[in-house]
Amino acid sequence: MADDRHRTGRLHARSPLSGLRLLATFASLRWGEITALTRADLDIDAGTVRVRLTYVERSTGELVLGPPKSKAGRRIVGIPQAIIPAIKEHLQLYVKPEEGALIFTGVKGGPMRRSGFNKLAGWMEAARAIGVSGLHFHDLRHTGNMIAADSGAGLKDLMTRMGHDNVRAAMIYQHAVRGADKLITEAIDKHLIGHERARDDDEDGPPGLLVPAG
Protein backbone atom coordinates (compact mmCIF):
# COMPACT_ATOMS: atom_id res chain seq x y z
CA MET A 1 0.00 0.00 0.00
CA ALA A 2 2.93 2.27 0.57
CA ASP A 3 4.64 3.19 -2.70
CA ASP A 4 3.50 2.04 -6.16
CA ARG A 5 6.39 3.72 -7.97
CA HIS A 6 9.54 2.74 -9.79
CA ARG A 7 12.64 4.92 -9.48
CA THR A 8 11.38 7.08 -12.34
CA GLY A 9 8.71 8.45 -10.03
CA ARG A 10 5.89 7.10 -12.23
CA LEU A 11 3.18 4.91 -10.78
CA HIS A 12 3.46 1.22 -11.67
CA ALA A 13 1.65 -2.01 -10.83
CA ARG A 14 4.19 -3.74 -8.61
CA SER A 15 1.67 -6.35 -7.53
CA PRO A 16 -1.72 -7.64 -8.74
CA LEU A 17 -3.31 -5.39 -6.10
CA SER A 18 -1.56 -2.11 -6.93
CA GLY A 19 -3.88 -1.29 -9.82
CA LEU A 20 -6.91 -2.13 -7.68
CA ARG A 21 -5.87 0.31 -4.96
CA LEU A 22 -5.10 3.05 -7.48
CA LEU A 23 -8.42 2.75 -9.31
CA ALA A 24 -10.39 2.51 -6.09
CA THR A 25 -8.78 5.71 -4.87
CA PHE A 26 -8.42 7.94 -7.90
CA ALA A 27 -11.51 6.83 -9.85
CA SER A 28 -13.72 6.77 -6.71
CA LEU A 29 -14.88 3.19 -7.22
CA ARG A 30 -16.73 1.07 -4.68
CA TRP A 31 -15.52 -2.44 -3.80
CA GLY A 32 -18.32 -4.20 -5.69
CA GLU A 33 -17.80 -1.96 -8.71
CA ILE A 34 -14.07 -2.45 -9.00
CA THR A 35 -14.19 -6.22 -8.53
CA ALA A 36 -16.77 -6.50 -11.34
CA LEU A 37 -14.65 -4.63 -13.91
CA THR A 38 -13.66 -6.41 -17.11
CA ARG A 39 -11.29 -5.49 -19.92
CA ALA A 40 -14.28 -4.18 -21.88
CA ASP A 41 -14.91 -1.60 -19.16
CA LEU A 42 -11.50 0.06 -19.45
CA ASP A 43 -10.71 2.45 -22.29
CA ILE A 44 -7.04 3.24 -21.78
CA ASP A 45 -6.82 5.46 -24.86
CA ALA A 46 -9.72 7.61 -23.69
CA GLY A 47 -8.61 7.38 -20.06
CA THR A 48 -11.98 6.18 -18.76
CA VAL A 49 -13.52 3.33 -16.79
CA ARG A 50 -17.16 2.30 -17.23
CA VAL A 51 -19.18 1.14 -14.22
CA ARG A 52 -22.06 -1.05 -15.35
CA LEU A 53 -22.03 -4.03 -12.95
CA THR A 54 -21.29 -4.69 -9.30
CA TYR A 55 -20.72 -7.70 -7.08
CA VAL A 56 -22.71 -8.08 -3.87
CA GLU A 57 -21.64 -10.64 -1.29
CA ARG A 58 -24.59 -12.09 0.60
CA SER A 59 -24.48 -13.24 4.22
CA THR A 60 -24.28 -16.82 2.93
CA GLY A 61 -21.03 -15.99 1.15
CA GLU A 62 -22.65 -16.12 -2.30
CA LEU A 63 -21.43 -13.50 -4.78
CA VAL A 64 -24.20 -12.00 -6.91
CA LEU A 65 -23.38 -10.02 -10.05
CA GLY A 66 -25.84 -7.39 -11.18
CA PRO A 67 -26.32 -3.73 -12.09
CA PRO A 68 -25.67 -0.99 -9.51
CA LYS A 69 -28.57 -0.45 -7.14
CA SER A 70 -29.23 3.01 -8.56
CA LYS A 71 -29.02 4.49 -12.04
CA ALA A 72 -26.47 7.00 -10.80
CA GLY A 73 -24.16 4.08 -10.04
CA ARG A 74 -23.93 3.35 -13.77
CA ARG A 75 -21.39 5.85 -15.01
CA ILE A 76 -18.19 6.56 -16.92
CA VAL A 77 -15.35 7.98 -14.86
CA GLY A 78 -12.14 9.62 -15.97
CA ILE A 79 -8.86 7.95 -14.97
CA PRO A 80 -6.01 10.33 -14.03
CA GLN A 81 -3.15 10.06 -16.52
CA ALA A 82 -0.69 9.61 -13.66
CA ILE A 83 -2.00 6.09 -12.95
CA ILE A 84 -2.43 4.96 -16.58
CA PRO A 85 1.05 3.32 -16.71
CA ALA A 86 0.18 1.20 -13.68
CA ILE A 87 -3.15 0.14 -15.19
CA LYS A 88 -1.49 -0.75 -18.52
CA GLU A 89 1.14 -2.79 -16.71
CA HIS A 90 -1.50 -4.58 -14.68
CA LEU A 91 -3.44 -5.50 -17.83
CA GLN A 92 -0.28 -6.86 -19.47
CA LEU A 93 0.87 -8.88 -16.48
CA TYR A 94 -2.24 -10.11 -14.72
CA VAL A 95 -5.32 -10.00 -16.98
CA LYS A 96 -6.41 -12.51 -19.61
CA PRO A 97 -6.77 -11.14 -23.17
CA GLU A 98 -10.52 -11.73 -23.51
CA GLU A 99 -12.76 -8.66 -23.37
CA GLY A 100 -14.83 -10.28 -20.64
CA ALA A 101 -11.85 -11.13 -18.44
CA LEU A 102 -12.04 -9.74 -14.91
CA ILE A 103 -9.46 -7.04 -14.19
CA PHE A 104 -8.96 -8.15 -10.60
CA THR A 105 -9.35 -11.75 -9.46
CA GLY A 106 -8.78 -13.98 -6.46
CA VAL A 107 -5.93 -16.49 -6.35
CA LYS A 108 -8.00 -19.09 -8.20
CA GLY A 109 -9.07 -16.71 -10.94
CA GLY A 110 -12.58 -16.02 -9.67
CA PRO A 111 -13.99 -12.72 -8.41
CA MET A 112 -11.96 -11.04 -5.68
CA ARG A 113 -13.47 -11.30 -2.20
CA ARG A 114 -12.81 -8.84 0.60
CA SER A 115 -11.34 -11.56 2.79
CA GLY A 116 -9.00 -12.65 0.00
CA PHE A 117 -7.91 -9.08 -0.65
CA ASN A 118 -7.23 -8.37 3.02
CA LYS A 119 -5.09 -11.50 3.26
CA LEU A 120 -3.17 -10.96 0.02
CA ALA A 121 -2.60 -7.27 0.71
CA GLY A 122 -1.76 -7.76 4.37
CA TRP A 123 -4.21 -4.90 4.85
CA MET A 124 -4.36 -4.80 8.65
CA GLU A 125 -0.59 -5.05 9.03
CA ALA A 126 -0.01 -2.38 6.39
CA ALA A 127 -2.57 -0.06 7.99
CA ARG A 128 -0.91 -0.44 11.39
CA ALA A 129 2.50 0.19 9.82
CA ILE A 130 1.41 3.62 8.55
CA GLY A 131 -0.32 4.51 11.79
CA VAL A 132 -3.98 4.14 10.74
CA SER A 133 -5.01 0.78 12.17
CA GLY A 134 -8.69 1.61 11.68
CA LEU A 135 -8.31 2.13 7.93
CA HIS A 136 -10.89 0.40 5.73
CA PHE A 137 -10.85 -0.26 1.99
CA HIS A 138 -13.69 2.23 1.54
CA ASP A 139 -11.33 4.95 2.82
CA LEU A 140 -9.48 4.73 -0.50
CA ARG A 141 -12.63 5.90 -2.29
CA HIS A 142 -13.17 8.47 0.45
CA THR A 143 -9.68 9.86 -0.23
CA GLY A 144 -10.36 10.13 -3.96
CA ASN A 145 -13.67 11.84 -3.31
CA MET A 146 -11.98 14.39 -1.08
CA ILE A 147 -9.41 15.19 -3.77
CA ALA A 148 -12.15 15.44 -6.40
CA ALA A 149 -14.12 17.82 -4.19
CA ASP A 150 -11.01 19.94 -3.81
CA SER A 151 -11.01 20.49 -7.60
CA GLY A 152 -13.75 23.10 -7.19
CA ALA A 153 -16.29 21.16 -9.26
CA GLY A 154 -19.96 21.69 -8.57
CA LEU A 155 -21.98 19.32 -6.41
CA LYS A 156 -23.87 17.84 -9.35
CA ASP A 157 -20.66 16.91 -11.17
CA LEU A 158 -19.13 15.42 -8.04
CA MET A 159 -22.26 13.34 -7.47
CA THR A 160 -21.99 12.06 -11.03
CA ARG A 161 -18.37 11.00 -10.62
CA MET A 162 -18.99 9.33 -7.27
CA GLY A 163 -22.14 7.53 -8.43
CA HIS A 164 -24.39 9.06 -5.79
CA ASP A 165 -28.14 9.15 -6.41
CA ASN A 166 -30.59 12.01 -5.95
CA VAL A 167 -33.81 13.31 -7.54
CA ARG A 168 -31.97 14.14 -10.76
CA ALA A 169 -30.39 10.67 -11.04
CA ALA A 170 -31.90 9.90 -14.44
CA MET A 171 -30.07 12.89 -15.88
CA ILE A 172 -26.89 12.59 -13.82
CA TYR A 173 -25.97 8.96 -14.55
CA GLN A 174 -25.99 9.67 -18.29
CA HIS A 175 -23.33 12.30 -17.83
CA ALA A 176 -20.21 10.84 -19.52
CA VAL A 177 -16.60 11.88 -19.07
CA ARG A 178 -16.57 15.35 -20.54
CA GLY A 179 -16.69 18.92 -19.37
CA ALA A 180 -16.65 19.17 -15.60
CA ASP A 181 -15.63 15.54 -15.05
CA LYS A 182 -12.62 16.08 -17.29
CA LEU A 183 -11.67 19.04 -15.09
CA ILE A 184 -12.00 16.82 -12.01
CA THR A 185 -9.75 14.17 -13.57
CA GLU A 186 -7.16 16.78 -14.53
CA ALA A 187 -7.24 18.23 -11.01
CA ILE A 188 -6.56 14.79 -9.55
CA ASP A 189 -3.68 14.39 -12.04
CA LYS A 190 -2.14 17.66 -10.85
CA HIS A 191 -2.49 16.55 -7.25
CA LEU A 192 -0.78 13.21 -7.98
CA ILE A 193 2.03 14.77 -10.01
CA GLY A 194 2.67 17.36 -7.30
CA HIS A 195 2.67 14.63 -4.66
CA GLU A 196 5.13 12.52 -6.65
CA ARG A 197 7.49 15.48 -7.17
CA ALA A 198 7.39 16.25 -3.47
CA ARG A 199 8.22 12.65 -2.66
CA ASP A 200 11.16 12.76 -5.09
CA ASP A 201 12.49 15.98 -3.53
CA ASP A 202 12.08 14.77 0.04
CA GLU A 203 12.42 11.08 0.82
CA ASP A 204 10.41 11.55 4.02
CA GLY A 205 7.61 13.04 1.92
CA PRO A 206 4.41 14.75 3.06
CA PRO A 207 1.67 12.88 4.93
CA GLY A 208 -0.06 10.16 2.90
CA LEU A 209 -3.23 10.68 0.92
CA LEU A 210 -5.36 8.24 2.86
CA VAL A 211 -8.16 9.84 4.85
CA PRO A 212 -9.91 7.50 7.30
CA ALA A 213 -13.67 7.85 7.12
CA GLY A 214 -13.96 7.60 10.87
Task: Kindly list the catalytic residues.
Answer: 30, 138, 141, 164, 173
CA-CA distance, 108 to 143, in Å (whole number)?
Answer: 30
Task: Determine the Cα–Cα distance for residues 93 and 108; give it in Å rounded to an integer.
Answer: 16
DSSP 149-182: HTTT--HHHHHHHHT---TTHHHHTT--SSTHHH
Whether 22 contacts 81, CB under 8 Å: no
Cα 125 to Cα 131: distance, rounded to the nearest angstrom: 10
CA proximity to 79, closest of 11, 146, 27: 27
Q: Are 44 and 83 in contact (CB under 8 A)?
A: no
Maximum alpha-carbon separation in the chain: 50
- β-partners of residue 11 are 5
Cα separation values, 138 from 28, 32, 45, 141, 182, Å: 9, 11, 27, 5, 23
